[in-house]
């Protein structure tokens, strides 16, 4: 059992096996954050917004700790991050079974810390999800399997704010060459915003999603 809490938007159009969209929020947020997108996304979707397991207080949660010290500066708790990746993988299987979703139409959308884990999960669990939407995140090379399977068919939508003060744009820019080098399908775009999702960014990834339904 994953034990992750979540909220649901049921499909607005009835289907025996609806496509599935899972949302993973960023550090210090909660399951309500990305859920604000739900009403604007395709009616066919079963949309699940998961809450990260580590409480920070006052409605704030994290998928893994970000620590600070005099020696290392800012660094991520990679053990906790991998534990969350494994929990999310189990969670996806539980949701697929519970709601009888389409086996070939699982979308994973993450923002910031949620995007970082979305990338990593797709490498640790090949083809568990068919489509990754990574907003304001990057590929953390410390959160990769020893070798990335070549049979991955997942495709990736990657976007970032060009003036992001939280996760530097330079980190995000490495994602496309990384994915290109593996011959994985991907689209990369930048928007003149900080650590957030501009309206044009939303409509861009919405169109990308619709083209894959």
pLDDT at 66 over 90: no
Higher pLDDT, 8 or 72: 8
3-state class of 55 per DSSP?
A: strand
Alpha-carbon gap, residue 123 to 96, rounded angstroms? 19
CATH of the domain at 19: 3.40.50.1820
Would you state the pLDDT for residue 1?
Answer: 73
pLDDT at 73 over 60: no
Q: Is residue 188 part of a domain?
A: yes
Mean pLDDT of the chain: 94
- Burial call 18-30: b when 16+ CB within 10 Å, e when fewer: bbbbbbbbbbbbb
Q: Is residue 136 part of a domain?
A: yes
Would you state the pLDDT for residue 2?
Answer: 75
pLDDT classification of 69: cutoffs 50, 70, 90: low
Q: Is residue 1 part of a domain?
A: no
* pTM for this predicted structure: 0.95
Q: Is residue 124 part of a domain?
A: yes
Would you state the pLDDT for residue 71?
Answer: 56
pLDDT classification of 70: cutoffs 50, 70, 90: low
Would you state the pLDDT for residue 122?
Answer: 98
H helix intervals, 47-185: 78-99, 113-124, 169-173, 175-181
Q: Is residue 157 part of a domain?
A: yes
User: For residue 8, what are the CA distances in angstroms to 11, 23, 32, 40, 143?
Assistant: 9, 10, 10, 14, 29
pLDDT at 121 over 90: yes
Contact 71, 61 (CB under 8 A): no
Would you state the pLDDT for residue 68?
Answer: 61
Would you state the pLDDT for residue 57?
Answer: 87
Would you state the pLDDT for residue 172?
Answer: 97
Q: Out of 54-63, 66-75, 196-205, which region has the weakest mean confidence (pLDDT)?
A: 66-75
Would you state the pLDDT for residue 164?
Answer: 95
pLDDT at 76 over 90: no
Would you state the pLDDT for residue 198?
Answer: 92
Would you state the pLDDT for residue 74?
Answer: 61
How much of the chain, in percent, has pLDDT values that exceed 70? 96
Alpha-carbon dihedral of residues 55, 51, 156, 13, nearest 10 degrees? -170
Q: Count up the domains in the chain and report the number.
A: 1
Question: Which range of residues forms the domain containing residue 91?
Answer: 6-210
Would you state the pLDDT for residue 158?
Answer: 98
9-43 pLDDT tens trace: 999 998 899 999 999 999 999 999 999 999 999 99
């Amino acid at each position: 059992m994953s034990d992750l809490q979540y909220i649901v938007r049921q499909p607005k159009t009835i289907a025996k096996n609806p496509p599935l969209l899972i949302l993973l929020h960023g550090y210090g947020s909660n399951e309500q954050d990305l859920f604000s997108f739900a009403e604007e996304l395709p009616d066919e979707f079963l949309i699940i917004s998961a809450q990260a397991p580590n409480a920070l207080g006052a409605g704030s949660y994290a998928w893994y700790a970000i620590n600070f010290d005099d020696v290392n500066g800012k660094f991520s708790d990679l053990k906790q991050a991998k534990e969350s990746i494994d929990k999310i993988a189990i969670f996806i299987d539980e949701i697929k079974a519970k709601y009888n979703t389409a086996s070939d139409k699982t979308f994973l959308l993450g923002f910031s810390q949620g995007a970082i884990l979305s990338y990593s999960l797709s490498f640790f669990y090949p083809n568990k999800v068919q489509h990754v939407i990574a907003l304001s995140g990057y590929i953390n090379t410390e959160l990769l399997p020893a070798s990335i399977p070549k049979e991955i068919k997942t495709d990736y939508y990657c976007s970032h704010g060009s003036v992001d003060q939280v996760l530097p744009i330079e980190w995000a820019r490495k994602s496309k060459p990384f994915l290109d080098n593996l011959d994985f399908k991907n689209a990369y775009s930048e928007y003149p915003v900080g650590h957030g999702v501009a309206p044009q960014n939303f409509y861009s990834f919405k169109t990308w999603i619709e083209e894959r339904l």
